[in-house]
Structure 1
């Protein structure tokens, strides 16, 4: 059930991770709840994997939910009572909804909103389908990118990572999603026909090699890194005439779905003032409607 306006008490929310001081989530969520007129607070708290369980056990009744970033996305799945379909598929959760406290242990339901974030960010630049997709990196975000590729109608996905031997779980996920997946090492890729390249590597990674596309002008690069921006990958892609989407677009769209979860209790139920909330999220992130960084 949605919690709204003056009918409910103030709630607490936070983003957890390590490191976490750099997170922009508090600014985004504060903007959203201001538009919605909700007296909710949202902060950033340093928590590592070993500390997540004790932190969850310590939460008092005013806590409504949590955003989760690295290195907590997989540990959150293990500590949850309920896991949504996308979080179960990817074995990664970035959102936890806490149930009401009534003398019993509080329920913990986790979600993965990164997939919706990727799809939403690409939709902002008009990319709504892609048959051939390339993913750089092999971590939790790569699993979300692979799932997003399936939602975009992909048939073939290539995944490149520093250690291809560790990509077995992503190959298994690809089979579950009905995708043909090929894996390899970073820097060893041949020219690709991919309409979409998703880099899940850190912004300062230097071992990705040259991004190769048969026709960059007809391809999109989503670089989930956004600080510093533009990344070397983004600059390279733009020089070749391709469209670049930064991770801020993904951050905004995944945050919108998180707000739905915290307010409505359901990632699929739109907010009453969804368009103004989305506009506020973009303004707080410093991007326009196409995800371009504002000066």
Structure 2
């Protein structure tokens, strides 16, 4: 607990920033953690902030502020705000967490942890057939996906994009020792239909055309059995892409699972305590079921 003037007790404050922000479930997850941990002197709020307003918002925070969660479109801008950063944040060029440190703000990327843990929970190991994966999209979240996939020994990635793949994302894949291919959506439907691992990093509607094309792909005897499909979208679940994956026998990983694990890592970084994962899972799953 932070002490102010004599007799005054100040809160520890944290928040999620982004634009739009109304849909964010981060307050649900962090409050569930605070309640389970008995942190009655912590609060977690949401604030609509765009990339142009981030510097001013952070500059205006007093010493009661302990951490910030960053969502779109702030993850790349937040890296510029950090006085120091983790190796994974530097490699991905993406910061979704700022934590107060003695010399300013420490930047980290807990999305990588969230992706890795949610895929591990679904049964993904280092025995991925062919070491190949399909990643839909090539933005900041795709770079976090690459960092997570590298820990599973993925050696080849096919990117499905609407126009061009971002060169920074392709360069990161090469840094991980991965070979890459790029295909336009929805022409890459066959890649998804026969992949052992598919990860979508795009908004739900952006993948609808691809999902329809996958649906038209014929099955064959060489198709991977029980592939794993992660869709980072958590509102409006299941997405059309998820429904198509389920019809093809995929193990589905909803975006809420990734969100829960990345939030748990944020709680660990901000409070210094072990996050109550079960309480956060119960709260997150209940909240997403009502969306």
Q: In which range does the TM-score fall when normalised by the shorter chain? A: 0.7 to 0.9
Instruction: Trace 1:201-212 onto structure 2 (pairs within 5 A).
Output: 201-205=202-206, 206-209=208-211, 210-211=213-214
Distance 1:156 1:115 in 2: 18
Distance 1:12 1:190 in 2: 45
Match of 1:119 among 110, 116, 130: 116
Kept in 1, the 8 Å contact 2:189–2:210? The answer is no
Secondary structure (helix, strand or coil) at the match of 1:98 reads strand
Structure 1 window deviating more from structure 2 (110-119 vs 216-225): it is: 216-225
Equivalent residues of 1:203, 1:226 under 8 A apart:
no
Task: Note if contact 1:77-1:83 (Cα within 8 Å) is conserved in structure 2.
Answer: yes
52-61 or 207-216, larger mean C-alpha shift:
207-216
- Residues 172-191 of structure 1: pairs in structure 2 closer than 5 A: 172-189=171-188, 191=190
Equivalence for 2:277: 278
Note if 1:200 corresponds to 2:239.
no
Give the superposition deviation at 1:167: 2.3
Q: TM-score by structure 2 length?
A: 0.87
Pick aligned residue for 1:253 from 256, 261, 286: 261
Give the match for residue 155 of structure 1. 155
CA deviation map 1:38-71 (0-9, x unaligned): 1200001000000000001100110001000000
Q: After TM superposition, where is structure 1 displaced by more than 4 Å over at least 4 residues in a row?
A: 292-295
Q: Residue 217 of structure 1: SS of its match in structure 2?
A: coil
Aligned partner of 1:48 in structure 2 is 50
Displacement, 1:31? Answer: 0.6
Distance 2:154 2:137 in 1: 18
Q: 1:216·1:240 contact (CA, 8 Å) conserved in 2? A: no
Aligned to 2:232: 224
1:108 to 90, 105, 111: 105
Q: Which residue number in structure 2 is paired with residue 103 of structure 1?
A: none
Which residue does 1:237 correspond to in 2?
A: 245
Aligned mates of 1:184, 1:159 — CA distance in 2? 6
Are the aligned partners of 1:216 and 1:241 in contact in 2 as well (CA < 8 Å)?
no
TM-score by length of 1: 0.86
- Superposed CA deviations along residues 240-289 of structure 1, whole A, max 9, x for unmatched, are 1111111000000001111111012xxxxxx44x4xx10011011116xx
Output the CA distance in 2 between the equivalents of 1:286 and 1:190.
Answer: 30
Distance 1:83 1:142 in 2: 19
CA deviation after TM superposition for structure 1 residue 109, in Å:
0.8
Measure how far apart 1:169 and its partner are: 1.2
CA contact (8 A) 1:18 1:70 kept: yes
Structure 2: gaps spanning 5 or more residues = 3-8
